[in-house]
């Protein structure tokens, strides 16, 4: 489900922060909603993203993606991706479309992403300026 405004995601972020949530080890049981903040670039290329997720109870290297938010830089298009070991390029998008030209994007995919034991799950904010070689990245471990 796609929303152009991000108030529901902001409420989830606030709830995660109030609960003191911090990333847990990959083999811990399901628990609170966890938060990863992503940031890349500066000035008119400043891009931000947030991923809210929870561990899948009893599963190693499995998390449920609750929401993904992105705000792109004024000159960029930005995606949030995860390091999918089954994708030929190594990364798969967590959003159905990018956020471009300073707009915000919020999606609630409610999907489980999985990787084999020993493959640390990561998310990244990938932003580029169309028509140039300017690329910004921020990678964080789940």
Look at residue 70 in the predicted model and tell me its pLDDT: 97
Q: Domain count of the chain?
A: 1
Residue 7 reports pLDDT greater than 90: no
Percent of the chain residues topping a pLDDT of 70: 78
Structural domain boundaries, residue 43: 2-141
Average of per-residue pLDDT across 20-32: 50
**Domain harbouring 68, CATH code:** 2.60.40
Look at residue 29 in the predicted model and tell me its pLDDT: 52
**What stretch of H or E contains 13?**
helix 7-18
| Structure confidence at residue 25 as a pLDDT band (50, 70, 90) | very low
Contact 117, 61 (CB under 8 A): yes
The mean pLDDT of the chain is 82
Residue 21 reports pLDDT greater than 50: no
Structure tokens at 68: 């993904």
pTM of the model: 0.76
Look at residue 130 in the predicted model and tell me its pLDDT: 77
Write out pLDDT tens, residues 50-65: 999 999 988 888 999 9
Write out pLDDT tens, residues 70-100: 999 999 999 999 999 999 999 999 999 999 9
Write out pLDDT tens, residues 126-139: 998 877 777 889 99
Higher pLDDT, 24 or 101: 101
Distance, in Å, from the CA atom of 67 to the CA atom of 9, rounded to the nearest integer, reads 7
Q: Is 23 helix (H, G, I), strand (E, B) or coil?
A: coil
């Amino acid at each position: 489900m796609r929303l152009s405004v991000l108030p529901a995601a902001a409420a989830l972020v606030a709830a995660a922060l109030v609960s003191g949530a911090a990333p847990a080890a990959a083999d811990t049981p399901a628990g609170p909603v966890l938060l990863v903040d992503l940031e890349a670039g500066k000035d008119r290329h400043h891009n931000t993203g947030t991923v809210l997720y929870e561990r899948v109870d009893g599963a190693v290297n499995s998390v449920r993606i609750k929401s993904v938010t992105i705000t792109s830089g004024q000159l960029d298009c930005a995606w949030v991706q995860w390091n999918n070991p089954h994708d030929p390029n190594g990364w798969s998008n967590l959003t159905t479309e990018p956020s471009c030209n300073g707009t915000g994007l919020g999606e609630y995919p409610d999907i489980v992403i999985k990787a084999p034991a020993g493959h640390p799950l990561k998310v990244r904010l990938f932003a580029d300026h169309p028509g140039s070689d300017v690329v910004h990245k921020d990678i964080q471990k789940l």
